[in-house]
Amino acid sequence: MSYYIQIGAGAGDQDERLNYKEGFTNFIKKKTYNKDDKVLVVEANPLNIDKLKTCWKDYSNLKIYNLAIVDSNFTGENIKLFYTEDDKPCYQVTSIHPNHVKKHYPKSIILEKKVKAKRINDFLSEEVGNQRIEYLAIDAEGIDFDLIMDLNLKKNDIKNISVEIIHLNKEQKKILVNKLLENGYSYSGKGFDIDGYDLMFSRKMNLYLKLKTKYFTRKLK
């Protein structure tokens, strides 16, 4: 059994502003599975859940979670989620940080909802256990760095990680890549985001891949 997990699903392929395309969704819908494989799709904003149900209505091996995935600095059961109605109907910019939403919508009224939160390592432990995660996609609108840095890569068997880096500064990018390198991951190209904002890292390492990843890291801006 293998798992395919998306953290920050948005509305899947239901957003007309993105021409009804979404990288992880496109990948999953084209893939051939083993009958025991599972797909877990996580989205914080409850306003997107009905769209995700429409997106995945034909997939019996898929489960949708309305959760805000957070790092270990958050200890409560619930957390405030910020968004704006100017981002509807698919609310692609939803974050636990109001300034992240304000950056994209500086003239908009920022609204909030309280949603259930789950720490990333707890979520993976409870839902996956020691099973193989074939792909983990993280697009968490402003906390991608925190989630990767908190992720227990020794305990979790994750083959490929796609993470959004557009909101990271140069130093954060280097720290993130170095953590992945130290845990046996090498840079393997663009991630799932259709605009190229994600990077993909695969748990595969040899001298060539290590040097390639270090060279790539030096070029990050």
What are the CA-CA distances from residue 3 to residues 41, 159, 208 (Å)?
11, 10, 28
pTM, two decimals, is 0.95
Burial (CB count <10 Å: 0-12, 13-18, 19+), residue 30: exposed
Q: What is the pLDDT of residues 34-58, one digit of tens each?
A: 778 999 999 999 999 999 999 999 9
What are the CA-CA distances from residue 198 to residues 107, 111, 173 (Å)?
27, 27, 12
Nearest C-alpha neighbor of 173 from the set 164, 186, 182, 185: 164
Q: How far, in Å, CA of 47 to CA of 94, rounded?
A: 10
Q: What is the pLDDT of residues 88-117, one digit of tens each?
A: 999 999 999 999 999 999 999 999 999 999
The confidence score (pLDDT) of residue 54 equals 97
139 within 8 A of 161, measured Cβ to Cβ? no
Domain ranges of the chain: 2-73+117-219
User: What is the rounded average pLDDT of the residues 196-209?
Assistant: 93
Q: Is the pLDDT of residue 147 over 80?
A: yes
Q: Is the pLDDT of residue 33 over 80?
A: no
User: What is the rounded average pLDDT of the residues 178-200?
Assistant: 94
Structure-token match 């025991």, residue found: 36
CATH class of 2-73+117-219: alpha beta
Q: What is the DSSP string of 50-103?
A: HHHHHHTTT-TTEEEEE-EEE-TT--SSEEEEEE-GGGTTTT---BSSHHHHHH
Q: What percent of the chain has pLDDT over 90?
A: 86
How many DSSP H helices and E strands does the chain contain? 7, 10
